[in-house]
Amino acid sequence: MPNSESATNHIVSVKNLSFSRGSRKIFDDISLDIQRGKVTAIMGPSGTGKTTLLKLIGGQLYPDAGEIWVDDQNVHRLKTRDLYSLRKRMGMLFQSGALLTDMNVYDNVAFPLREHTHLPESMIRTLVLMKLHAVGLRGARHLMPNELSGGMARRVALARAIALDPMMIMYDEPFTGQDPISMGALVHLIKSLNTTLRLTSIIVSHDVQETAAIADYIYVLSDGKIVGHGTPTQLAQSDSAWVQQFMNGDADGPVHFHYPARDYLDDLLTSRHS
Protein backbone atom coordinates (compact mmCIF):
# COMPACT_ATOMS: atom_id res chain seq x y z
CA MET A 1 0.00 0.00 0.00
CA PRO A 2 1.30 3.54 -0.60
CA ASN A 3 2.86 5.22 2.38
CA SER A 4 0.68 8.33 2.29
CA GLU A 5 -2.39 6.21 2.84
CA SER A 6 -0.96 4.56 5.93
CA ALA A 7 -0.14 7.95 7.41
CA THR A 8 -3.71 9.04 7.26
CA ASN A 9 -5.74 5.90 7.74
CA HIS A 10 -3.71 3.30 9.58
CA ILE A 11 -2.76 3.99 13.14
CA VAL A 12 -1.15 0.57 13.56
CA SER A 13 0.48 -1.47 10.82
CA VAL A 14 1.86 -4.91 11.50
CA LYS A 15 4.14 -6.04 8.70
CA ASN A 16 5.28 -9.66 8.23
CA LEU A 17 5.47 -10.25 11.97
CA SER A 18 6.92 -13.49 13.32
CA PHE A 19 7.26 -14.29 16.98
CA SER A 20 7.96 -17.49 18.85
CA ARG A 21 8.21 -18.57 22.44
CA GLY A 22 10.76 -21.31 22.84
CA SER A 23 10.13 -23.69 19.97
CA ARG A 24 6.46 -22.70 19.64
CA LYS A 25 5.68 -20.34 16.82
CA ILE A 26 3.05 -17.88 17.98
CA PHE A 27 2.93 -15.62 14.91
CA ASP A 28 4.05 -16.79 11.53
CA ASP A 29 4.48 -13.92 9.11
CA ILE A 30 1.26 -12.03 9.75
CA SER A 31 0.36 -8.57 8.47
CA LEU A 32 -2.58 -6.46 9.52
CA ASP A 33 -3.63 -2.81 9.59
CA ILE A 34 -5.77 -0.98 12.08
CA GLN A 35 -7.76 1.99 10.90
CA ARG A 36 -7.78 5.25 12.77
CA GLY A 37 -11.02 6.01 14.59
CA LYS A 38 -12.46 2.52 14.22
CA VAL A 39 -13.04 -0.34 16.63
CA THR A 40 -10.95 -3.24 15.39
CA ALA A 41 -11.20 -6.66 16.98
CA ILE A 42 -8.59 -9.38 16.93
CA MET A 43 -10.24 -12.69 17.66
CA GLY A 44 -9.21 -16.26 17.98
CA PRO A 45 -9.32 -19.18 20.38
CA SER A 46 -7.45 -19.03 23.70
CA GLY A 47 -3.73 -19.53 23.38
CA THR A 48 -3.34 -17.99 19.94
CA GLY A 49 -1.22 -15.17 21.36
CA LYS A 50 -3.71 -12.34 21.15
CA THR A 51 -2.36 -10.75 24.33
CA THR A 52 1.15 -11.24 22.99
CA LEU A 53 0.20 -9.19 19.96
CA LEU A 54 -0.86 -6.28 22.18
CA LYS A 55 2.41 -6.51 24.09
CA LEU A 56 4.29 -6.45 20.80
CA ILE A 57 2.38 -3.36 19.70
CA GLY A 58 3.14 -1.72 23.06
CA GLY A 59 6.82 -2.49 22.63
CA GLN A 60 7.02 -4.74 25.69
CA LEU A 61 8.13 -7.71 23.58
CA TYR A 62 10.44 -7.88 20.59
CA PRO A 63 9.46 -9.70 17.39
CA ASP A 64 11.73 -12.29 15.78
CA ALA A 65 11.07 -10.77 12.40
CA GLY A 66 8.87 -8.08 10.89
CA GLU A 67 7.96 -4.59 11.93
CA ILE A 68 5.21 -2.85 13.81
CA TRP A 69 4.42 0.76 13.03
CA VAL A 70 2.32 2.82 15.41
CA ASP A 71 1.40 6.33 14.35
CA ASP A 72 4.16 6.15 11.70
CA GLN A 73 6.89 5.17 14.14
CA ASN A 74 8.64 1.82 14.10
CA VAL A 75 7.97 0.70 17.68
CA HIS A 76 10.99 -1.58 18.00
CA ARG A 77 13.44 0.93 16.59
CA LEU A 78 12.53 3.69 19.04
CA LYS A 79 14.81 4.82 21.83
CA THR A 80 13.48 4.18 25.32
CA ARG A 81 12.59 7.83 25.77
CA ASP A 82 10.63 7.96 22.51
CA LEU A 83 8.97 4.63 23.21
CA TYR A 84 7.82 5.98 26.57
CA SER A 85 6.40 9.12 25.03
CA LEU A 86 4.60 6.98 22.45
CA ARG A 87 3.17 4.85 25.23
CA LYS A 88 1.72 7.93 26.89
CA ARG A 89 -0.54 8.11 23.84
CA MET A 90 -1.51 4.44 24.00
CA GLY A 91 -3.85 3.23 26.70
CA MET A 92 -3.97 -0.42 27.58
CA LEU A 93 -6.62 -2.20 29.57
CA PHE A 94 -5.24 -5.39 31.08
CA GLN A 95 -7.38 -8.43 31.61
CA SER A 96 -7.01 -8.17 35.39
CA GLY A 97 -7.27 -4.39 35.38
CA ALA A 98 -3.73 -4.19 36.80
CA LEU A 99 -4.74 -1.55 39.32
CA LEU A 100 -2.05 -0.64 41.82
CA THR A 101 -3.23 -2.45 44.92
CA ASP A 102 -1.71 -0.07 47.45
CA MET A 103 -3.71 2.93 46.25
CA ASN A 104 -7.41 3.69 46.21
CA VAL A 105 -9.47 4.21 43.05
CA TYR A 106 -8.90 7.97 42.99
CA ASP A 107 -5.12 7.68 43.31
CA ASN A 108 -5.01 4.95 40.69
CA VAL A 109 -6.69 7.18 38.13
CA ALA A 110 -4.56 10.12 39.21
CA PHE A 111 -1.38 8.03 38.91
CA PRO A 112 -0.54 8.66 35.23
CA LEU A 113 -1.45 12.34 35.61
CA ARG A 114 0.84 12.76 38.60
CA GLU A 115 3.65 10.84 36.93
CA HIS A 116 3.58 12.62 33.61
CA THR A 117 2.22 16.09 34.23
CA HIS A 118 2.95 18.87 36.66
CA LEU A 119 -0.67 19.88 36.99
CA PRO A 120 -1.81 21.38 40.29
CA GLU A 121 -3.68 18.99 42.58
CA SER A 122 -6.99 20.85 42.08
CA MET A 123 -6.86 20.29 38.34
CA ILE A 124 -5.89 16.66 38.79
CA ARG A 125 -8.96 16.29 41.00
CA THR A 126 -11.20 17.71 38.30
CA LEU A 127 -9.70 15.46 35.63
CA VAL A 128 -9.90 12.35 37.80
CA LEU A 129 -13.53 12.99 38.68
CA MET A 130 -14.35 13.56 35.01
CA LYS A 131 -12.73 10.28 33.99
CA LEU A 132 -14.39 8.40 36.85
CA HIS A 133 -17.74 9.94 35.94
CA ALA A 134 -17.29 8.75 32.37
CA VAL A 135 -17.09 5.15 33.58
CA GLY A 136 -19.82 5.71 36.16
CA LEU A 137 -17.65 5.19 39.25
CA ARG A 138 -17.31 8.71 40.61
CA GLY A 139 -18.91 7.46 43.82
CA ALA A 140 -16.40 4.66 44.29
CA ARG A 141 -13.35 6.89 44.43
CA HIS A 142 -12.44 6.04 48.02
CA LEU A 143 -12.58 2.26 47.59
CA MET A 144 -9.42 0.18 47.48
CA PRO A 145 -8.90 -2.17 44.49
CA ASN A 146 -9.59 -5.27 46.61
CA GLU A 147 -13.05 -3.89 47.45
CA LEU A 148 -14.05 -3.73 43.77
CA SER A 149 -15.80 -6.38 41.72
CA GLY A 150 -14.06 -7.57 38.57
CA GLY A 151 -16.23 -5.42 36.32
CA MET A 152 -15.74 -2.33 38.46
CA ALA A 153 -11.98 -2.88 38.52
CA ARG A 154 -11.97 -3.00 34.73
CA ARG A 155 -13.95 0.22 34.53
CA VAL A 156 -11.52 1.95 36.92
CA ALA A 157 -8.65 0.68 34.79
CA LEU A 158 -10.44 2.09 31.76
CA ALA A 159 -10.75 5.47 33.48
CA ARG A 160 -7.03 5.30 34.18
CA ALA A 161 -6.25 4.31 30.58
CA ILE A 162 -8.07 7.40 29.25
CA ALA A 163 -6.59 9.72 31.89
CA LEU A 164 -3.92 11.06 29.57
CA ASP A 165 -6.36 11.31 26.62
CA PRO A 166 -4.59 8.73 24.46
CA MET A 167 -5.04 8.32 20.71
CA MET A 168 -5.80 4.61 21.04
CA ILE A 169 -6.78 2.03 23.62
CA MET A 170 -5.94 -1.65 23.55
CA TYR A 171 -8.38 -3.89 25.38
CA ASP A 172 -7.10 -7.28 26.50
CA GLU A 173 -10.06 -9.66 26.85
CA PRO A 174 -12.38 -7.01 28.29
CA PHE A 175 -15.42 -9.29 28.47
CA THR A 176 -13.91 -12.41 30.03
CA GLY A 177 -15.52 -13.51 33.25
CA GLN A 178 -18.10 -10.71 33.41
CA ASP A 179 -21.71 -11.12 34.41
CA PRO A 180 -24.23 -10.06 31.72
CA ILE A 181 -24.87 -6.66 33.31
CA SER A 182 -21.25 -5.53 33.60
CA MET A 183 -20.59 -7.08 30.19
CA GLY A 184 -23.34 -4.91 28.74
CA ALA A 185 -21.96 -1.87 30.55
CA LEU A 186 -18.47 -2.48 29.17
CA VAL A 187 -19.69 -3.05 25.61
CA HIS A 188 -21.61 0.19 25.75
CA LEU A 189 -18.69 2.03 27.35
CA ILE A 190 -16.12 0.92 24.78
CA LYS A 191 -18.32 1.94 21.91
CA SER A 192 -19.33 5.29 23.37
CA LEU A 193 -15.78 6.21 24.46
CA ASN A 194 -14.57 5.45 20.98
CA THR A 195 -17.04 7.89 19.51
CA THR A 196 -17.00 10.65 22.12
CA LEU A 197 -13.21 10.75 22.62
CA ARG A 198 -12.45 10.03 18.93
CA LEU A 199 -10.27 7.11 19.93
CA THR A 200 -9.07 4.10 18.05
CA SER A 201 -9.85 0.87 19.85
CA ILE A 202 -8.22 -2.50 19.48
CA ILE A 203 -10.10 -5.30 21.20
CA VAL A 204 -8.55 -8.67 21.73
CA SER A 205 -11.26 -11.16 22.61
CA HIS A 206 -12.84 -14.53 22.04
CA ASP A 207 -16.34 -13.41 23.02
CA VAL A 208 -17.87 -13.46 19.55
CA GLN A 209 -21.31 -11.94 20.18
CA GLU A 210 -20.23 -8.91 22.21
CA THR A 211 -17.24 -8.15 20.06
CA ALA A 212 -19.09 -8.51 16.78
CA ALA A 213 -21.69 -6.10 18.12
CA ILE A 214 -19.27 -3.17 18.39
CA ALA A 215 -16.37 -3.99 16.07
CA ASP A 216 -16.05 -2.23 12.71
CA TYR A 217 -13.51 -4.75 11.47
CA ILE A 218 -12.42 -8.16 12.69
CA TYR A 219 -9.26 -10.22 12.22
CA VAL A 220 -9.48 -13.90 13.13
CA LEU A 221 -6.26 -15.58 14.18
CA SER A 222 -5.49 -19.26 14.41
CA ASP A 223 -2.19 -21.15 14.69
CA GLY A 224 -0.15 -18.03 14.11
CA LYS A 225 -1.94 -17.12 10.89
CA ILE A 226 -4.75 -14.78 9.99
CA VAL A 227 -7.50 -17.12 8.81
CA GLY A 228 -10.10 -14.50 8.04
CA HIS A 229 -10.80 -10.79 8.17
CA GLY A 230 -13.58 -8.43 7.29
CA THR A 231 -16.54 -6.60 8.76
CA PRO A 232 -18.74 -8.66 11.11
CA THR A 233 -21.30 -9.22 8.34
CA GLN A 234 -18.65 -10.30 5.86
CA LEU A 235 -17.27 -12.77 8.36
CA ALA A 236 -20.69 -14.20 9.14
CA GLN A 237 -21.03 -15.04 5.46
CA SER A 238 -17.48 -16.34 5.17
CA ASP A 239 -17.11 -19.62 3.34
CA SER A 240 -14.16 -20.68 5.49
CA ALA A 241 -15.21 -23.63 7.62
CA TRP A 242 -12.85 -22.56 10.33
CA VAL A 243 -14.27 -19.02 10.59
CA GLN A 244 -17.78 -20.46 10.57
CA GLN A 245 -16.95 -22.80 13.44
CA PHE A 246 -15.41 -19.98 15.48
CA MET A 247 -18.14 -17.43 14.83
CA ASN A 248 -20.91 -19.92 15.60
CA GLY A 249 -19.14 -21.64 18.47
CA ASP A 250 -19.59 -25.20 17.14
CA ALA A 251 -18.01 -27.89 19.30
CA ASP A 252 -16.54 -29.83 16.41
CA GLY A 253 -15.36 -28.77 13.00
CA PRO A 254 -11.94 -28.06 11.55
CA VAL A 255 -10.84 -27.62 15.18
CA HIS A 256 -11.50 -30.95 16.82
CA PHE A 257 -13.06 -31.35 20.23
CA HIS A 258 -10.45 -33.97 21.18
CA TYR A 259 -6.82 -33.26 21.84
CA PRO A 260 -4.80 -35.42 19.41
CA ALA A 261 -4.62 -38.97 20.83
CA ARG A 262 -4.44 -42.52 19.59
CA ASP A 263 -7.50 -44.57 18.96
CA TYR A 264 -9.97 -44.50 21.86
CA LEU A 265 -10.81 -48.22 21.92
CA ASP A 266 -7.19 -49.11 21.53
CA ASP A 267 -6.29 -46.86 24.46
CA LEU A 268 -8.91 -48.38 26.74
CA LEU A 269 -7.89 -51.94 25.96
CA THR A 270 -4.23 -51.41 26.66
CA SER A 271 -3.45 -52.50 30.20
CA ARG A 272 0.00 -50.99 30.41
CA HIS A 273 0.11 -47.58 32.02
CA SER A 274 1.52 -45.08 29.56
Q: Which is nearer to another protein, 203 or 220 (CB)?
A: 203
Least Å from the CB of residue 121 to another protein:
12
Q: Which is nearer to another protein, 92 or 193 (CB)?
A: 92
Q: Does 197 bind another protein (CB under 8 A)?
A: no
Least Å from the CB of residue 111 to another protein:
7
Least Å from the CB of residue 84 to another protein:
4
Q: Which is nearer to another protein, 173 or 210 (CB)?
A: 173
Least Å from the CB of residue 213 to another protein:
26
Q: Does 84 bind another protein (CB under 8 A)?
A: yes
Of 38, 88, 125, 138, which lies in the binding site for another protein, with binding defined by CB under 8 A? 88
Q: Which residues inside 109-128 make contact with another protein, applying CB under 8 A?
A: 111-112, 114-116
Binding mask 160-179 toward another protein (x if CB under 8 A, else -) reads: x-------------------
DSSP assignment string, the chain: --HHHHHHHEEEEEEEEEEEETTEEEEEEEEEEEETTSEEEEE--TTS-HHHHHHHHTTSS--SEEEEEETTEEGGGS-HHHHHHHHTTEEEE-TT----TTS-HHHHHHHHHHHH----HHHHHHHHHHHHHHTT-GGGTT--GGGS-HHHHHHHHHHHHTTT--SEEEEESTTTT--HHHHHHHHHHHHHHHHHTT-EEEEEE--HHHHHHH-SEEEEEETTEEEEEE-HHHHHT---HHHHHHHHT-SSSSS-SSPS-S-HHHHHH--S--
Binding window for another protein (CB under 8 A); candidates: 18-26, 86-94, 190-198, 203-211: 86-94
User: Which residues are near another protein by CB under 8 A?
Assistant: 55, 58, 60, 84-85, 87-88, 90-92, 94-96, 98-101, 103-104, 107, 111-112, 114-116, 157, 160
